[in-house]
């Protein structure tokens, strides 16, 4: 049976954690109700991460960033340079095969500069379409990373690229929480429309609800786990300092990208310490938080939303290496709402974390009224933008035909 949905090409590149991929999959799942979604996935796809029904995934040779911010291959069979060559060809090949009515690009040009050599040819290809140029939309999270050195130049280039190639920018945030102009210095130069969608939740989290039995358990997580080792080590050390009177267990969800040596060390700790358990992956982190007395995590986009949805007493330790300030910015905003507690990464040792955990068990977070319907809202916005584009193109076509008939 012929698929009547219009094609949509969605580019997503996750480089350190899984946050970009999880949000993109949630968006793709919602968009698939209206469009035939082809997702170009640029990072390593975790084996147990579910792909929404109706979404086709094209896996590019996986690339990511190392601890120094350098581009590296996530596939030992090829170098980063060879992967880049293969990716450039596959991106254009997929575009030509899909012939999309909509092209959705996650983060670029406001980030992902290292991937410009495969994205700019894609955008040029879309821009050169004459009769049926696709709608080109950027998908952004709530807060951008500050570049510090060269920030003004970076932001100016991002606005110029957006104005040249894009028809709209979707910001997956509640504007009452964070607005694009607060983290984009060149916002005044941005000519394309900006639409706020609310926060994007995976489908199972949007549907979750009802009473659950809370265990006397501290849940520790760090997204995909690639940069979570220091937090896990501090948590294990702090757990050894909690006395029997604290009467709590600890579960660590390490994430699929935690390096193997660190995973083996965690498993050894779990064998030695009563009440400590470790998992590589859980199917629904938000549900696991709901069952826990407290949560300790970093403060990426998806984890922060899990904390808010679960209503769990939470301590966040924002990832802040290499000049990263996005998680710290988000954490302080949530702290000001009374939603969670914050500890700085560089200040966290075992005794401090043990004290924080005791205080956390008595903490009662305030509920948030932020818009969490970003997936459905994004689909509606894209539909509206496409309808408007189609109507304008039809009007131009009628005007051209009328002009030709008048001259005849």
Q: Do the strands 276-279 and 217-221 form a parallel or antiparallel pair, or are they unpaired?
A: unpaired
Per-residue pLDDT band for 4 (boundaries 50, 70, 90) equals confident
| Residue 402 scores a pLDDT above 60 | no
- Residue 367 resides in a domain: no
Task: Provide the residue range defining the domain that includes 231.
Answer: 205-360
Residue 206 pLDDT greater than 70, yes or no: no
Indicate whether 151 belongs to any domain. Answer: yes
| Per-residue model confidence (pLDDT) at position 282 | 92
pLDDT value of position 66: 80
Would you state the pLDDT for residue 407? 58
Say how far apart CA 26 and CA 202 lie, in whole Å.
5
One domain, residues 260 and 296: yes
Whether residues 26 and 173 share a domain: the answer is yes
204 confidence band (pLDDT: 50, 70, 90): low
Residues 391 and 336 in one domain: no
Return the pLDDT at 151. 82
Helix axes 301-310, 19-31, angle to 10 degrees: 70
Residue 146 falls within a domain, yes or no?
yes
Cis bond leading into 9, ω under 30°? no
Least confident among 91-95, 178-182, 201-205, 284-288: 201-205
| 145 and 116 part of one domain | yes
CA distance 223 to 227: 9
| Residues 178 and 38 occupy one common structural domain | yes
Q: Specify the pLDDT at position 207.
A: 47
Identify which of 226, 218, 228, 279 has the alpha carbon closest to the alpha carbon of residue 66.
Answer: 226
134-188 pLDDT, tens digit per residue, is: 999 999 999 998 766 678 888 999 999 999 999 999 999 999 999 999 999 999 9
- Is residue 236 in a domain? yes
Domain contains 1: no
Average pLDDT rounded to a whole number, residues 245-274: 92
Q: Report if residue 174 sits inside a domain.
A: yes
Does 275 score more than 90 pLDDT? yes
Report the Cα 312 to chain-centroid distance in Å.
21
pLDDT at position 396 is 62
Whether the per-residue pLDDT at 408 is higher than 70: the answer is: no
**Residue 107 — very low, low, confident or very high, per pLDDT cuts 50/70/90?**
very high
Q: So what's the pLDDT on residue 135?
A: 96
Does residue 291 belong to any structural domain of this protein? yes
Same domain, 11 and 111: yes
In this prediction, residue 348 carries a pLDDT of 85
Is 69's pLDDT higher than 80? no
Predicted confidence (pLDDT) at residue 210 exceeds the cutoff of 70:
no
Please say whether the beta carbons of 119 and 11 come within 8 A. yes
Rounded CA-CA distance 151/238 in Å is: 38
Q: How many CA atoms lie within 13 A of 251 on its CB side?
A: 18
Beta-sheet pairing, 71-73 with 63-65? antiparallel
**Does 192 lie in the same domain as 214?**
no
Q: Are residues 154 and 260 in the same domain?
A: no
**Six-digit token string for 56:** 């086709």
Neighbour tally for 366: CB within 10 Å: 11
240 lies in the same domain as 140: no
If asked whether residues 165 and 222 sit together in one domain, one would say no
User: What is the enclosing helix (H) or strand (E) of 389?
Assistant: helix 374-407
| Mean pLDDT computed over 303-332 | 92
- Is residue 22 located within the same domain as residue 67? yes
Instruction: With respect to residue 366, please indicate whether it lies within any of the assigned structural domains.
Output: no
Could you tell me which residue, 120 or 245, shows the higher pLDDT? 120
- What's the CATH number where 263 sits? 3.40.50.2000
Q: How many structural domains are present in the chain?
A: 2
Compute CA 140 distance to the chain's CA centroid, rounded to the nearest angstrom.
Answer: 9
The mean pLDDT of the chain is 90
For residue 102, pLDDT beyond 70: yes
pLDDT of residue 384: 96
Note whether 69 and 131 are same-domain residues.
Answer: yes
Q: How far apart are CA 368 and CA 214, in angstroms?
A: 20
Q: Number of helices and strands (H, E) in the chain?
A: 12, 15
Sorting pLDDT into bands at 50, 70 and 90, what band is 260?
very high
Q: Which pLDDT belongs to residue 397?
A: 57
């Amino acid at each position: 049976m012929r698929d009547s949905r219009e094609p949509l090409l969605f580019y997503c590149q996750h480089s350190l954690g899984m946050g970009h991929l999880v949000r993109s999959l949630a968006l793709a799942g919602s968009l698939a109700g209206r469009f035939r979604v082809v997702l170009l996935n640029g990072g390593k796809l975790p084996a147990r991460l579910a792909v929404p029904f109706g979404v086709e995934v094209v896996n590019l040779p996986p690339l990511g960033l190392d601890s120094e911010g350098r581009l590296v291959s996530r596939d030992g069979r090829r170098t980063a340079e060879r992967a880049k060559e293969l990716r450039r060809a596959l991106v254009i090949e997929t575009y030509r095969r899909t012939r999309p009515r909509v092209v959705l690009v996650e983060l670029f040009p406001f980030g992902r500069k290292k991937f410009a050599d495969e994205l700019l040819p894609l955008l040029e290809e879309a821009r050169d379409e004459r009769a049926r140029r696709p709608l080109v939309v950027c998908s952004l999270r709530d807060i951008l990373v500050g570049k510090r050195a060269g920030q003004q130049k970076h932001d100016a280039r991002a606005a110029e690229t957006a104005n040249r190639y894009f028809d709209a920018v979707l910001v997956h945030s509640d504007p009452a929480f964070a607005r694009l102009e607060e983290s984009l210095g060149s916002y005044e130069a941005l000519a394309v429309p900006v639409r706020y969608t609310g926060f994007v939740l995976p489908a199972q989290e949007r549907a979750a609800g009802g009473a659950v039995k809370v265990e006397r358990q501290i849940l520790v997580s760090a997204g995909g786990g690639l940069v979570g080792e220091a937090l896990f080590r501090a948590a294990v050390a702090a757990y050894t300092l909690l006395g029997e009177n604290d009467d709590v267990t600890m579960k660590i969800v390490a994430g699929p990208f935690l390096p193997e040596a660190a995973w083996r060390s965690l498993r050894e700790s779990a064998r030695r310490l009563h009440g400590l358990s470790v998992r590589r992956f859980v199917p629904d982190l938000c549900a696991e938080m709901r069952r826990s007395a407290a949560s300790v995590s970093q403060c990426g986009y998806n984890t922060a939303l899990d904390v808010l949805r679960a209503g769990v007493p939470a301590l966040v330790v924002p990832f802040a290496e290499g000049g990263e300030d996005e998680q710290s910015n988000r954490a302080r905003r949530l702290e000001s709402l009374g939603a969670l507690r914050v500890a700085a990464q560089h200040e966290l040792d075992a005794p401090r974390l043990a004290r924080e955990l005791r205080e956390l068990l008595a903490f009662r977070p305030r509920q948030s009224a932020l818009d969490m319907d970003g997936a459905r809202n994004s689909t509606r916005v894209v539909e509206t933008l496409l309808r408007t584009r189609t109507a304008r193109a039809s009007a131009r076509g009628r005007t051209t035909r009328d002009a030709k008939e008048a001259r005849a």
